[in-house]
Amino acid sequence: MSAPAEFSHVPVLLPEALHAMNLKEGGVYLDGTVGGGGHSEGILKALGGRCTLYAMDRDPEALAAAGTRLSAWPGARLLHGNFHDAPGLLGDARLDGVLLDLGVSSWQLDTPSRGFSYHEDAPLDMRMDPTGGLTAAEWLNGTPEKEIAKALYEYADERWAARIARVVVQMREEKPFETTFDLVRAVDRAIPKAVRRKEEGHPARRAFQAVRIAVNGEIAPLAGALEGLAGLMNPGGRLCVITFHSIEDRAVKQAFARMKNPCVCPKDAPMCVCGRRPLVSLPKGYPLTPSESELQSNPRSRSARLRVAERLGI
């Protein structure tokens, strides 16, 4: 697939991420969410191209844009796929560092035809990989009410989850969901007008976040994916993850904590007998958030957090 005509990508927390990765010449790295290639380009520039960098993304258009941006670097190797599947995609590769920039990209949000934005009326798609899987419209049209409510609550802390789910079911019985504004109208019907007037930001933002996460399977497999990536790393390798909302960040924090202390023995047990050994340590000083200068130049970075785990030599 050819690269989009315009694919803007402002890499968030770039200097902080590069420092956190402890980059070394000759190293092997994975950017598991390459997007437009900003972080990958930063890694390659920092090492003068003297490294191998696997640039992976599930979005073919993002990968095409990254390929154009990274074409001058012989060490860059493009891979179409989800970082959840990295162990199978990378084969025998051993990594010295991994960077993940989770969530939806600015380009995806700003491209109406992708269906991620509640500001434009467009097909209700939201798939990060548009080559397969259910669209957001198909998910809303076929998912039971209780599951929709659960997703809205668990993936976005939406306090009107039950009412929105009920309205979605009522509306789809009249006419199946097709466009982004269909979902906006469902939220408008479900949330009282007086509440919507007091909302900071668009009332539909949480619903769109939750549906996107559900459609793309972003949270449920995350802990296993992070452990799989840690298992691919050499001792001392750094797993660096940038998150953009509390649900995502909590999942990463909990996954890192379990990898640091995987013991499942009773707390009152005199010694560990489960045999589970720590996989990572957690370097001090993290998480990091954007600097004031970055917030001024890129307001969308305001919710970003960088967490880091270091592979132990076991």
* pLDDT tens digits, 125-157: 999 999 999 999 999 999 999 999 999 999 999
- How far apart CA 210 and CA 149 sit, in angstroms, is 10
Kindly report the pTM of this predicted structure. Answer: 0.91
Q: Determine the average pLDDT of the residues in 12-25.
A: 97
The confidence band for 265, taking pLDDT boundaries of 50, 70 and 90, is confident
Question: 282 near 254, Cβ under 8 Å?
Answer: no
Q: Which carries the bigger pLDDT value, residue 275 or residue 143?
A: 143
* Biggest CA-to-CA distance, the chain: 63
**What does pLDDT average to over the chain?**
93
pLDDT at 5 over 50: no
Q: Check residue 6 and give its pLDDT.
A: 54
Q: What number does CATH give the domain 111-216?
A: 1.10.150.170
Provide the pLDDT confidence category of residue 9 given band limits of 50, 70 and 90: low
User: What is the b/e burial string over 266-302, where b = at least 16 CB atoms within 10 angstroms of the residue's CB?
Assistant: eeeeeeeeeeeeebbebeeebbbebeeebeeebeebe
Q: Do the first three CATH levels of 14-103+221-311 and 111-216 match, i.e. the same topology?
A: no
CATH code linked to domain 14-103+221-311 = 3.40.50.150
Is residue 3 predicted with pLDDT exceeding 80? Answer: no
What percentage of the chain reaches a pLDDT higher than 90?
A: 83
How is the chain split into domains, by residue range?
A: 14-103+221-311, 111-216
- Give how far Cα 206 sits from Cα of 36, 73, 104, 171, 202, Å: 25, 39, 13, 19, 9
pLDDT score of 314: 65
pLDDT score at 8: 56
**Residue among 137, 300, 144, 151 nearest 217 (CA):** 151
Q: pLDDT tens digit string along 225-237?
A: 999 999 999 999 9
